[in-house]
Structure 1
Amino acid sequence: MIYRARFALELVAAVLVTGLVLVTCTDVIGRYLFNSPLSGAFEVTQVLLGALVFVALPLTTAAGGHVEVDLLVPLLPERVSRTLGRLGGAVAGVVLLYFAFRLVILTEDQFAAGTRTAGLGLPLWGLGVLGIASCLVSAVIAVVRRPT
């Protein structure tokens, strides 16, 4: 099941990157060759990039790809190093839960106010829901992941 979930997230991330490339290329070609840029390209790019960040967060957490500063860890015994790794995972989990909590508040506000993008009128609360799910899944991964 974990393999399928990871594959699904990777597939969605690939589709989002492809969408970003297509929107950008279409906008650039339209702007410079036909003097007619793609209408709403900036907004679509913003939404796609936000979605990509949220989709990639659990993948990055699972791979241990977040930035870590470990100047002293190589000098410590293996047991202490692993304990610090688990403590770091727990702290990351708490921070991600806090992010999810704040996103719940923001998403509720955006949904209630009907907040949309300025040009195309895309609803922003959907991106918040994706962010909440992403932070929750990433928090669980951060806590259960075994440090290397």
Structure 2
Amino acid sequence: MHVISNLLRKSAALPVAVASAALFFLMILTFCDVVLRSAFNAPIEAATELTRISMAITVFAVMPVMSARGEHISVDLLDGVFQRLRLTRIRDAIVFIGCGVMLYWPAGRVVVLAERARDYGDVTEYLGIPVFYMGWFIAIMTYLTMMAMVLRGLAILFAPQLLERQS
């Protein structure tokens, strides 16, 4: 089990590195676009499509990692009630499994849209990048997020000691 845990931890570094690189590229792109637009009245023509691609990579690359680690933003309005009733673990498991199962529908829709874009030959305006690549990336990452959330929910229910060691 320790070997699997180490493998998962190391494999989580790749999507985080990809998202970090995309975010850094986005910062440089924005800076250069602002300078060129303001100083020389010559904006980067492809900045909009590169920004959209970079944002999609930044957001969707880390979704499975954040879900597996349980690092979502949450509002604890009812935490006191659930703690008094000792239902925190059950609530967390239901939320993770429910949200994971619900991700099946949007991921499937993105696959349909990506395939439609591929069939139509849709490409980005300036650079001519096929749109379906981003669609498939988003779909794959959403499916991985779905699996991570369901597995975390099941771990909360049946093997909470594994998650306690992870922290």
**How does 1:18-29 map onto structure 2 within 5 Å?**
18-29=24-35
Q: What TM-score do you get using the length of structure 1 for normalisation?
A: 0.89
**How does 1:68-107 map onto structure 2 within 5 Å?**
68-76=74-82, 77=84, 79-107=86-114
RMSD in angstroms over aligned alpha carbons? 1.9
Q: CA deviation at 1:78?
A: 6.6
**Other-structure match for 1:15:** 21
Q: Distance in 2 between matches of 1:42 and 1:34?
A: 18
Superposed CA offset, 1:26-69 (max 9, x none):
11111122222112111111111112111121122123233434
Q: CA deviation at 1:109?
A: 0.5
> Residue 125 of structure 1 is aligned with which of 124, 128, 132?
132
Whether 2:150 is the aligned partner of 1:143: answer yes
Whether 2:53 is the aligned partner of 1:47: answer yes
Q: What TM-score do you get using the length of structure 2 for normalisation?
A: 0.80
Q: Percent identity between the aligned chains?
A: 28
- Structure 2: which amino acid aligns with 1:35? N
**Other-structure match for 1:30:** 36
Given the superposition, is the C-alpha separation of residues 2 and 78 from structure 1 closer, same or farther in structure 2, using an over 3 Å criterion?
farther
Q: Distance in 1 between matches of 2:20 and 2:85?
A: 37
Unmatched 5+ stretches in structure 1: none
**Other-structure match for 2:160:** none
Instruction: Provide the aligned length of Structure 1 versus Structure 2.
Output: 148
